[in-house]
A = this chain, B = another copy of it.
Amino acid sequence: METTPLNPARRRLLAGSAGALAAAGLGATGVVRASEPATSKAAVPAATTAAKPLPPYAAWKDADSVIVHSANTIETRRSAFGDGVITPTRELYVRNNLPPPDASILDDRDAWSVEIQGVKNPRTLTLGELKTLGVDTMATVLQCSGNGRGFFPHKPSGTQWQVGAAGCVLWTGIPVRTLVEYLGGIEGDPTYMTGTGGEQLPEGLDPNTLTVERSVPRDTLQDAMLAWEMNNEPLSLAHGGPLRLIVPGYTGVNNVKYIKRLAFTAEQSPAKIQQTSYRLAPMDAKPGPDQPSAWAMGPKSWITAPGAEGAPVKAGRALVRGVAFGGIHAVKRVDVSIDGGKTWKQAALVGPDLGKYAWRQFALAVDLPAGQHTLASRVEDTEGNVQVENRVENVRGYLNSSWRDHALTVNVS
């Protein structure tokens, strides 16, 4: 992949005698040794695993930082999160419910239009016009509803995500409340805010079977945003550009990509993705509109270092690090265990606080003797909600926040 520069982990791999020829060969393809940008933190380079290739619309992702499950599902490796709070765009997970629209929708970003309904003065506005009406930036944790599905013992259908269908990124756009005020305020007393994606749907099919249209409680509009930049770059196609609805604290699917319609509605969307998908059905129930929807996220954290994905850990002093978020509330504290949850110590929250919807980095200095250790973390939010010990079993494997499932067993030598 010539657009993805060779990273140091892969270079180390090639540095052995057996790799010398391969390294020379790579050099010949035009990879300039001196042109390294900031590079992958992943412990296990993709070259050592039977990696699927990145799909064309996400070919610019850092192949060594991600696990490609399919063309529409790409996960960040646990070892790639680093300690810098904001997930780099080229390392962020991707989950598309449908193939993305043609990239030509980015040719003239400002011409993209979005229809606003359920306000006193409903209108269609271009992105160019939105940009003159208001601007703000916020950090949110973006997490797929199914993140952690891979830990459910009943192997629910869907991508077997581990920890990495999540990231913390900066969004820039217009606050939805600013836009609503500009259009005269909400009309009546609708219960939901409903966003509709701009994916191309096949002809001759009931659109409700495929359309990405999600309804969330109306009051989420207070902190929601129509975003055109992520991490201070124009929003890529893979992440919903030119315009995406951001509902902070709500799982990824509610953050509708390529948004073409935002409506305040009495009812939830009739689309399948709202009515029966993304429902938390108990194991003996059928997913459907009577079951809770995958909406707000709860408190969750996981260890990112040391020892993720088999990275070697030396006996002695170590800094146990990870990420923690509260979902819709801020992080109050994080505790860390190095004995699988028998005893806990409070970790330090490090780095800048980017607001209640962002995650916090945490760190605890420990002495790790040789042997096997299970590292775990547990976050408490400012409302006193504590990360659950055990997953809540459900048919499709949504919203796994179990600290026990997310613990990391490391071999120290």
Question: Which residues of A does B touch, CB under 8 Å?
Answer: 2-3, 5, 8, 11-12, 15, 30, 32-41, 56-60, 82-91, 102-104, 106-109, 131-139, 170, 172, 229-239, 241, 316-319, 321, 350-352, 354-355, 358, 361, 363, 365
- Chain B residues positioned under 8 Å from A135 (CB to CB): 83, 319, 321, 350, 361, 363
Q: Which residue of B lies closest to A173 (CB)?
A: B83
22 contacts between A and B (CB under 8 A): A2-B30, A8-B234, A12-B107, A33-B103, A34-B57, A35-B60, A36-B237, A38-B233, A39-B236, A40-B234, A83-B229, A83-B232, A84-B229, A84-B230, A84-B231, A87-B232, A131-B319, A137-B351, A137-B361, A138-B351, A170-B351, A172-B351
**Does the CB pair A237–B34 fall under 8 Å?**
yes
Q: A8-B107, A84-B170 are known contacts. Are A236 and B2 too (CB-CB below 8 A)? A: no
**Does the CB pair A34–B11 fall under 8 Å?**
no
Kindly name the residue among A30, A138, A234, A319 whose own CB sees the greatest number of chain B CB atoms within 10 A: A234
**Does the CB pair B3–A172 fall under 8 Å?**
no
- Chain B residues positioned under 8 Å from A106 (CB to CB): 8, 36, 39
Determine the distance from Cα of A8 to Cα of B235 in the docked complex, in whole angstroms.
12
**Does the CB pair B30–A136 fall under 8 Å?**
no
Residue from the list B83, B172, B237 in contact with A172, Cβ < 8 A? B83
- Chain B residues positioned under 8 Å from A319 (CB to CB): 131-135
**Does the CB pair A132–B11 fall under 8 Å?**
no
- Chain B residues positioned under 8 Å from A233 (CB to CB): 37-41, 82, 84, 88, 91
Kindly name the residue among A38, A135, A350, A365 whose own CB sees the greatest number of chain B CB atoms within 10 A: A38
- Chain B residues positioned under 8 Å from A131 (CB to CB): 319
- A-B contacts besides A138-B352, A172-B351, 11 pairs, CB < 8 Å: A2-B3, A8-B106, A37-B89, A83-B135, A83-B137, A84-B170, A86-B231, A88-B231, A170-B351, A352-B354, A354-B354
**Does the CB pair A133–B8 fall under 8 Å?**
no
- Chain B residues positioned under 8 Å from A354 (CB to CB): 352, 354
- Chain B residues positioned under 8 Å from A321 (CB to CB): 135
- Chain B residues positioned under 8 Å from A108 (CB to CB): 8, 12
**Does the CB pair A35–B8 fall under 8 Å?**
no
**Does the CB pair A36–B236 fall under 8 Å?**
yes
Residue from the list B38, B41, B133, B238 in contact with A89, Cβ < 8 A? B38
**Does the CB pair A172–B232 fall under 8 Å?**
no
**Does the CB pair B139–A352 fall under 8 Å?**
yes
- Chain B residues positioned under 8 Å from A170 (CB to CB): 84-86, 351-352
**Does the CB pair A82–B351 fall under 8 Å?**
no
Q: A32-B56, A34-B103 are known contacts. Are A232 and B132 too (CB-CB below 8 A)? A: no
Task: Give, as a whole number of angstroms, the nearest-CB distance from A392 to chain B.
Answer: 31
Q: Which residue of B lies closest to A305 (CB)?
A: B131
Residue from the list B3, B138, B235, B365 in contact with A38, Cβ < 8 A? B235
Determine the distance from Cα of A12 to Cα of B138 in the docked complex, in whole angstroms.
29
- Chain B residues positioned under 8 Å from A235 (CB to CB): 38
Q: A8-B106, A88-B231, A170-B86 are known contacts. Are A236 and B60 too (CB-CB below 8 A)? A: no
Q: Which residue of B lies closest to A352 (CB)?
A: B354
Q: A84-B137, A86-B232 are known contacts. Are A36 and B350 too (CB-CB below 8 A)? A: no
- Chain B residues positioned under 8 Å from A237 (CB to CB): 34, 36
**Does the CB pair A107–B137 fall under 8 Å?**
no
Q: A86-B231, A234-B41 are known contacts. Are A136 and B34 too (CB-CB below 8 A)? A: no
Q: A30-B2, A170-B86 are known contacts. Are A107 and B231 too (CB-CB below 8 A)? A: no
**Does the CB pair B231–A38 fall under 8 Å?**
yes
**Does the CB pair B35–A3 fall under 8 Å?**
yes
- Chain B residues positioned under 8 Å from A109 (CB to CB): 8
Q: Which residue of B lies closest to A131 (CB)?
A: B319
Determine the distance from Cα of A318 to Cα of B129 in the docked complex, in whole angstroms.
9
Residue from the list B60, B132, B363 in contact with A5, Cβ < 8 A? B60
